[in-house]
């Protein structure tokens, strides 16, 4: 059976998403199967882009090919007896009403991310693979997908986006990290409210520290966010670092005192996983998917409660061995996820669709 890997919007994706896409495809191609794979850049990704993402390929890779920007009227032949695999979540467009689709999410998906995944855009026989029970429940209870078509990978046998394979490459930039203690947050996509909560908690905690703590923000600042930082008198203490290289990002996280993810989207999820793997304590909102994925390996606060967030920052930085305990738990939690199991579950879904399609043809005959 032909598996069409949907590389939509890959060119504009953030580095964490691109790493995830590469790892998914590399693991699929490295497994023995009867399937052939076509990487199709239907929304702007060129053949050269896809080829570079897949390098280096497994030595014994499955049969595969690359199709660039396939014209709309030329997709029907490509999709005949195929399955469309969307590793980057909800597709922006559906190539065929009759072509089953397998959708996976970038780590734990937020309900906003899966809002567009309705029964209307999922052809008969489609499947969804998710990392969290909360997402599974939402897809069945609210979206209305058949329970048997949504699968959950439990902790201990799940997906590790870049946790077990990230290696520090040679430094290619002049990025530096502060010499004094610092916190790291990734607020992109969180909205101004949660960003303001982090700023206020940081300001309250540092009032008695004489400026001996910094806050690094992994995003390029908008004019509004930069102005808010200065209005609150934090201009010398908050640094926006944009999108650093993988090696620089790893150094930033490894040297930090704590990581504060604000939303459960793909970027925050990858960075949270990297923080766990490197032994950095995590302070996260008390809400799915963080509570389900992190469990006892992190500290939690109620979203919107600046007082709780300030208190958890204080506990993490001031309470004896707590940071060391969280680091140990985080490393153990990160090791509980496996690409091997994820890839096996994915191939099982492809085989299910193939068997269902074969049964339908035999019944029609």
CATH number for position 315: 3.40.50.2000
By mean pLDDT, which of 16-30, 108-122, 269-283, 341-355 is the weakest?
108-122
Residues 295, 345, single domain; the answer is no
Where do the H-state alpha helices sit in the chain? Answer: 15-29, 47-53, 75-79, 133-138, 191-206, 223-231, 246-254, 266-277, 290-294, 306-318, 322-334, 339-364
Whole-number pLDDT of residue 164: 37
By mean pLDDT, which of 136-145, 147-156, 242-251 is the weakest?
147-156
What gap in Å lies between CA 127 and CA 124, rounded to an integer? 9
pLDDT over 60 (residue 109): no
What one-character DSSP code corresponds to residue 282? B
Beta partners for residue 152, in sequence order: 130
Q: How far is CA 38 from CA 70, 177, 283, in A?
A: 12, 41, 40
Residues 229, 298, single domain; the answer is yes
Whole-number pLDDT of residue 168: 30
pLDDT over 80 (residue 257): yes
Whole-number pLDDT of residue 30: 82
Better pLDDT: 343 or 123: 343
Residues 272, 301, single domain; the answer is yes
Whole-number pLDDT of residue 176: 62
Residue 258, token pair as written in the block? 């704590």
Residue 353 in domain: yes
351 in helix, strand or coil?
A: helix
pLDDT over 60 (residue 217): yes
Q: Which of 84-121 are b and which e, b meaning 16 or more Cβ less than 10 Å from the residue's Cβ?
A: bbbbbbbbeeebbeebbbbbbbbbbbbeebbeebeeee
Convert the pLDDT of each residue in 196-208 to its tens digit. 999 999 999 998 7
pLDDT tier for residue 117 given thresholds of 50, 70 and 90: low
Better pLDDT: 116 or 168: 116
Convert the pLDDT of each residue in 301-351 to its tens digit. 999 999 999 999 999 999 879 999 999 999 888 877 777 778 888 888 888
CB 301 within 8 A of CB 308: yes
What gap in Å lies between CA 22 and CA 56, rounded to an integer? 10
Better pLDDT: 113 or 8: 8
- Average pLDDT, whole number, for the chain? 76
Residues 255, 350, single domain; the answer is no
By mean pLDDT, which of 30-44, 46-60, 153-167, 199-213 is the weakest?
153-167
Residues 274, 308, single domain; the answer is yes
Residues 148, 208, single domain; the answer is no
Convert the pLDDT of each residue in 22-35 to its tens digit. 878 888 888 878 88
85 in helix, strand or coil?
A: strand
What gap in Å lies between CA 213 and CA 269, rounded to an integer? 24
What gap in Å lies between CA 33 and CA 358, rounded to an integer? 17
- Cα R_g (the chain), whole angstroms: 22
> For the purposes of burial, counting CB atoms within 10 Å of the CB of 126, is it exposed (0-12), middle (13-18) or buried (19 or more)?
buried
Q: How far is CA 293 from CA 133, 135, 218, 249, in A?
A: 10, 12, 22, 22
- What mean pLDDT do residues 31-59 have? 68
What's the pTM? 0.75
**Best mean pLDDT range from 56-60, 124-128, 143-147, 302-306:** 302-306
Residues 316, 342, single domain; the answer is no
pLDDT tier for residue 7 given thresholds of 50, 70 and 90: confident
Place of tokens 């390098």: 55
- What mean pLDDT do residues 202-217 have? 85
Residue 318 in domain: yes
CB 160 within 8 A of CB 271: no
By mean pLDDT, which of 36-40, 206-210, 298-302 is the weakest?
206-210
Residues 229, 206, single domain; the answer is yes
Domain tally, the chain: 2
Residue 253 in domain: yes
Query: Residue 81 sits in which domain range?
Result: 2-159+338-364
Whole-number pLDDT of residue 104: 81
Place of tokens 């085989």: 351
Whole-number pLDDT of residue 98: 66
Convert the pLDDT of each residue in 65-86 to its tens digit. 776 655 454 454 555 568 888 8
Beta strand pairing call for 101-104 and 182-186: unpaired
- What mean pLDDT do residues 347-362 have? 79
What gap in Å lies between CA 82 and CA 17, rounded to an integer? 25
362 in helix, strand or coil?
A: helix
Residues 186, 328, single domain; the answer is yes
pLDDT over 80 (residue 228): yes
Residue 130 in domain: yes
pLDDT tier for residue 282 given thresholds of 50, 70 and 90: very high
Whole-number pLDDT of residue 190: 62
- Which residues, 6+ apart, have CB-to-CB distance to 168 below 8 Å? 246, 247, 250, 251
CA angle (141, 348, 1) in 5-degree steps: 115
CATH number for position 352: 3.40.50
């Amino acid at each position: 059976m032909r598996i069409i890997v949907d590389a939509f919007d890959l060119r504009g994706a953030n580095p964490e998403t691109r790493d995830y896409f590469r790892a998914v495809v590399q693991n699929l191609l490295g497994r023995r199967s009867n399937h052939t794979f076509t990487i199709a850049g239907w929304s702007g990704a060129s053949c050269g882009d896809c080829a570079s993402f897949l390098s280096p390929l497994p030595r014994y890779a499955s049969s595969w090919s690359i199709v660039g920007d396939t014209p709309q009227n030329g997709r029907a032949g490509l999709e005949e007896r195929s399955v469309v695999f969307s590793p980057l979540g909800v597709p922006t467009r559906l190539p065929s009403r009759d072509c089953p689709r397998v959708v996976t999410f970038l780590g734990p998906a937020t309900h906003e991310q899966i809002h567009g995944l309705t029964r209307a855009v999922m052809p008969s026989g489609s499947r969804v693979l998710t990392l969290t029970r909360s997402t599974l429940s939402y897809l069945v209870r609210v979206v209305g997908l058949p329970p048997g078509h949504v699968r959950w990978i439990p902790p201990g046998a799940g997906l590790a986006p870049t946790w077990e394979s990230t290696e520090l490459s040679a430094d290619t930039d002049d990025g530096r990290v502060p010499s004094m203690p610092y916190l790291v947050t990734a607020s992109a996509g969180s909205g101004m409210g949660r960003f303001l909560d982090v700023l206020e908690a940081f300001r309250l905690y540092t009032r008695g520290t004489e400026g001996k703590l910094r806050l690094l923000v992994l995003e390029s600042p908008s004019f509004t966010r930069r102005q808010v930082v200065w209005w609150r008198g934090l201009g010398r203490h908050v640094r926006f670092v944009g999108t650093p290289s993988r090696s620089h990002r790893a150094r930033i996280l490894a040297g930090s005192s704590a990581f504060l993810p604000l939303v459960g989207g793909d970027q925050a999820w990858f960075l949270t996983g990297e923080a766990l793997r490197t032994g950095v304590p995590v302070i996260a909102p008390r809400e799915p998917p963080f509570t389900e994925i992190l469990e006892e390996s992190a500290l939690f606060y109620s979203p919107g409660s600046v007082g709780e967030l300030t208190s958890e920052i204080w506990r993490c930085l001031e309470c004896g061995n707590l940071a060391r305990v969280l680091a140990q738990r985080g490393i153990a939690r990160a090791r509980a996820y496996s690409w091997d199991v994820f890839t096996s579950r994915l191939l099982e879904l492809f085989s299910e669709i193939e068997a269902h399609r074969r049964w339908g043809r035999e019944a029609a005959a």
